[in-house]
Structure 1
Amino acid sequence: MKRLVILGSGESGVGTALLAVQKGWTVFVSDKASITQKHKTELINAGIEFEDNKHSEDKILLADEIMKSPGIPDDIPLILKAKGKGIPVISEIEFAGRYMDCKSICITGSNGKTTTTLLIYDLLKNAGINVELAGNVGTSLARQLAEGRKPDWFVIELSSFQLDGMFDFRADVAVLLNITPDHLDRYGFKMQNYIESKFRIAQNQTEEDVFIYCEDDENIVNELVHHIYKSNLIPFTQKDILKSGAYVTNDEVIINYNQDTMSILSQELSLQGKHNLYNSMAAGIVASVLKIKKKFIRESLTSFKGVEHRLEKVCSVRGIEFINDSKATNVNSTWYALECMDKPVVWIAGGVDKGNDYEDLLPLARKKVKALICLGTDNSKLINSFGKEVQVIKEARSMKEAVELAYQQGKKGDVVLLSPACASFDLFSSYIDRGNQFKDTVRDL
């Protein structure tokens, strides 16, 4: 009996453990942190051996294969030792994919992947397709397979960390939205390493498959010439007119696939802003590939409600609008958020810097930001970067303090925008915790 060791006991780890034991593997789960009581109960009930608050190297290195949590870097000594012994180290998507007998739509990108994933899922569901949601959002793919779910399609959001451990898995439809600097601390601060990680979304594709990508993204276009794909490549753009793909002209979004064309007025799309135009085009192409009726495509693209913590309007207080963009954990996400703003901005930013270069934000900050509230344990880089661009800069060490400072700086007709451009882990447990604290504090004003 083959032995699978799982490092990490989150949703993907426990889901993989439950699936693996069903498929006849001997399973051992190891977590350097505490395992939640809920997950401990699941593991005990399934007869799965586990440990927490440590990694027992002697037990782990007995593995035939290791599935590690996306949060665990590839270069820690334990992983390097395992690879040195020839033990394959894979991701949940790679393991679960072996037991999946339906088709998949896989979405990645530095920004917009959650919005696009949920939009595609909503579109398919509205059209009556038997579909489930997995990956970075919702329930893990492995757990759903363990529970016996058998949809016709899985819509799967994939981060670069999940893609790094993907080797044989094949996406029937792959969507690559954009590639901008993010998580460079995990890629040796080399952009090329990160680009190559994102391009794994389309590996193993055949002539029957589809690869949808943004033609306006320089990193994608420059990297594409180094790859030969058998799959059908379909671009989307806001700059050109395409024979096949999606583009914008005369305030309309045109989607043309297999000589079947449809159009939607840009102003009718439920998701507004330049970045969301890309997300809607990508989703529209996916729907066209799946031969979904135009009326369902139009209904979803014009009624979709959006994603919590991404340009989420919270409320207005005395004429000041508060927007929660906590999901903006990198510079490019925040660029899109600032680019969308048409009112004077009091901007709350900061957190764990992932090797950020703020240069692209300087023109927008100069033009739109009246005050910057730095929310983090170390705000020096933000202050040094924007000190000459923004007249008022304040520091905060809690969400309550940040919101109160922002409220003091704002006036009727302004917007307070939480768009951190950084990870959350210095002061918050996650971007969700950060966004929820923001919303709760705003409502208490």
Structure 2
Amino acid sequence: MRLVVLGGGESGVGTAILGKQKGYDVFVSDFGKIKENYKEVLIKNGIDWEDEKHTESLILNADVVMKSPGIPEKAAIVKKLVEKGIPVISEIEFAAPFTKAITIGITGSNGKTTTTMLTYHLLKSAGLNVGLAGNIGKSFAEQVAEDKYDSYVLELSSFQLDGIINYKPHIAIITNISPDHLDRYDYKYENYIDSKFRITMNQTEEDYLIYDADDEAISEWLKKNKTKAKLIPFSLTQTFEEGAFIKDNTMEVIINQEEFKMETESIALEGKHNFKNAMAATSVAKLMQIRKATIRESLSNFQGVEHRLEKVLKIQNVQYINDSKATNVNATFFALDSMTTPTVWIVGGVDKGNDYNELMALVREKVKAIICLGVDNRKIIDAFGNVVDIMLEVNNMNDAVKMAQRITEKGDTVLLSPACASFDLFENYEDRGRQFKEAVHNL
């Protein structure tokens, strides 16, 4: 069996290692440059590879192709594979059959990283032998090759779900759905929504789907479509006989007639959206039969995720917050919504077809100044130019932070929450967040 791996990054190299271990004839091809550390791994494992090109004669003879999530369906080589009827799948689809471990799959437009990390924290703190993979950390395929975990918490992007055929998580979570990455879905929101719901398409009556019952797109889809999985809703406004909800400042989770209660003020993560993440993660912990005391302790000591509403420093009574992970408008909505002091907002980058109107009321109420950090800021200036008193443009992080310091007063907040991708000025959102933190520390 010939396995061709497109993309020589984390998921590609992990898949190649697992494929080789399972007796496949493996070839890795990357149209860009493969990083030195990944090349070394491929060479050490005796795996053939090429970079900065796709040699068709070495690719179109594949029995199966694993496509890295960053490569669009529209890529010429992918179209040719599909025309030839060669299955093009994701890393998750390739690796899942080689493990007996239970998987917990988590998707959504926002909150999925926090929910994934919190779920992992709950299970690990309870002493479960659990791995963490998907969009985070070490590749799922490579961990399956090492075969040391009984269960996995997987953060799954829509791109990873597009490449599944038979994969099903035992427990699936959809945190929420808002327009994102529409450039990859022919600018059709319904295509993107369908893509997220692939997480439940192979689930059976034995499996569970945990979902945000306040989310319009999710509720609409569930009205029109069926899943066999047992449904477990969570909500800030409704209550359920089975599910998770907030009532009188208490989080309640009822599953299989068992009830778990915890005061919301004891939950380490702040903000309404984080109560939702906590309800989703706690529902998993209950399904995995983790003790109440352990859940309580884990929820009260969880540290949060880097680059997601991360408090960096307080300087001259001004709080600097790194929310670089907010790469779409909906994520920035949560960030602005949780601000309680006058805010200097650093925003901008590569726009994925953003509609800034939904932020208008929050900007009017909370934002005193906007600093645009991007190559093309026209849309942001058009949207908010008449709403805030100060609108500035910069093209590097140091200037953004220095400028912010100049216009803040005691008691203000400086919030980096870009609502955009980072690829115009930075390598990725992590690089953007790290540069912000460094600039703040240098003030």
TM-score (norm 2): 0.99
State how far apart, in whole Å, the 1-side matches of 2:95 and 2:369 are: 47
What CA deviation, in whole Å up to 9, does each residue of 1:62-86 have, x standing for no partner? 1111111100001122111110010
8 Å contact from structure 2 (residues 99, 147) kept in 1: no
Q: Secondary structure at the match of 2:166?
A: coil
Structure 2 residue aligned with 1:186: 184
- Deviation per CA, 1:16-71: give whole Å up to 9, x if none: 00000111111110111111221111111211110011111222111111111100
Tell me how far 1:347 sits from its aligned partner.
0.1
Residue 160 of structure 1: how far off its partner (Å): 0.7
Which residues in structure 2 correspond to 1:126-165 (within 5 Å)? 126-146=125-145, 148-165=146-163
Alignment-derived partner of residue 45 in structure 1: 44
Q: How many residues end up aligned between the 2 structures? A: 443
Q: Displacement, 1:381?
A: 0.7
Query: Aligned pair 1:18/2:21, yes or no?
Result: no
Is 1:333 the counterpart of 2:331? The answer is yes
Post-superposition Cα deviations, 1:285-321, rounded to whole Å, max 9, x if no partner, equal 1111111110011111111000000000000111111
Structure 2: distance between partners of 1:106 and 1:425? 27
Q: Distance in 1 between matches of 2:139 and 2:200?
A: 21
Taking the aligned partners of 2:59 and 2:224, their CA distance within structure 1 comes to 37
Tell me the equivalent position of 1:229: 227
Distance 1:194 1:388 in 2: 33
TM superposition shift of 1:354: 0.5
Aligned equivalent of 1:308: 306
CA separation in 2, counterparts of 1:411 and 1:61? 61
> Where does residue 284 of structure 2 map in the other structure?
286
CA distance in 1, matches of 2:431, 2:154: 23
State how far apart, in whole Å, the 2-side matches of 1:240 and 1:305 are. Answer: 28
2:35 is aligned to 36
- Pick the aligned partner of 2:380 from 372, 378, 382: 382
User: 1:239-254 alignment to 2 at 5 Å?
Assistant: 239-254=237-252
1:90 aligns with 89
Q: Distance in 2 between matches of 1:51 and 1:204?
A: 35
Partner-residue secondary structure (3-state), 1:225: helix
8 Å CA contact retained: 2:333, 2:359: yes
Which position in structure 1 is the counterpart of 2:55?
56
Q: CA deviation at 1:150?
A: 2.7
CA RMSD of aligned residues (A): 0.8
State the 1:226 CA deviation: 2.3
CA distance in 1, matches of 2:201, 2:327: 27
The more displaced of 170-179 and 41-50 is 41-50
SS of the aligned residue for 2:224 comes to coil
Report Cα offsets for 1:213-250 as digits up to 9, x if no partner.
Answer: 00000000001122222211000001111100000110
**Partner of 1:413: helix, strand, or coil?**
coil
Partner in structure 1 of residue 99 of structure 2 = 100
Paired residue secondary structure (2:168):
coil
CA distance in 1, matches of 2:362, 2:237: 21
Name the amino acid aligned to 1:196.
D
> Would the aligned equivalents of 2:116 and 2:153 in 1 still touch at CA under 8 Å?
yes
Q: Contact between 1:67 and 1:92, CA under 8 Å: does it hold in 2? A: yes
Q: Counterpart in 2 of 1:419?
A: 417
Query: For the residues of structure 1 that align with 2:156 and 2:367, how far apart are their CA atoms?
Result: 33
Task: Describe the SS at the equivalent of 2:432.
Answer: helix
Cα distance in 1 between the residues matched to 2:429 and 2:201: 30
Q: Distance in 1 between matches of 2:12 and 2:259?
A: 43
Q: Is contact 1:102-1:152 (8 Å) kept? A: yes
Shift of 1:398: 0.3
Give the Cα–Cα distance (whole angstroms) in 2 for the partners of residues 110 and 278 of structure 1.
14
The AA in structure 2 aligned to 1:275 is H
Render the CA deviation track for 1:335-362: whole Å, top value 9, x for unaligned: 0000000000000000000111111101
Question: Structure 2: which amino acid aligns with 1:357?
Answer: D
Superposed CA offset, 1:351-406 (max 9, x none): 00011111110110011000000000000011111112212110010001111111
Aligned counterparts of 1:219 and 1:229: Cα–Cα separation in 2: 15
The residue number in structure 2 matching 1:438 is 436
For residues 170-226 of structure 1, what are the alpha-carbon distances to aligned partners after superposition, in whole Å with 9 as ceiling and x for unaligned?
Answer: 100000000001111111111001100100111111111111000000000001122
Query: In 2, are the aligned partners of 1:102 and 1:150 still within 8 Å (CA)?
Result: no
Is the CA contact (8 Å cut-off) linking 2:308 and 2:324 kept in structure 1?
Answer: yes
CA contact (8 A) 2:31 2:52 kept: yes
Distance in 1 (CA, whole Å) between partners of 2:231 and 2:50 is 45
Which position in structure 2 is the counterpart of 1:112? Answer: 111
In 2, Cα distance between equivalents of 1:100 and 1:141: 10
In 2, distance between residues paired with 1:75 and 1:95? Answer: 21
Q: Which amino acid aligns with 1:194?
A: Y
Match of residue 321 from structure 1: 319
User: What is the SS of the residue equivalent to 1:98?
Assistant: helix
Partner Cα distance (2:74, 2:34) in 1: 23
Corresponding position of 1:66: 65
1:260 paired residue number: 258
Residue 274 of structure 1 is aligned with which of 261, 266, 272? 272
- 1:72-122 Cα offsets, whole Å, 9 max, x none, are 001122111110010111100000112111101010110011111010111
Letter of the aligned partner of 1:137 in structure 2? I
Aligned partners of 1:47 and 1:126: how far apart in 2? 38
1:5 aligns with 2:26: no
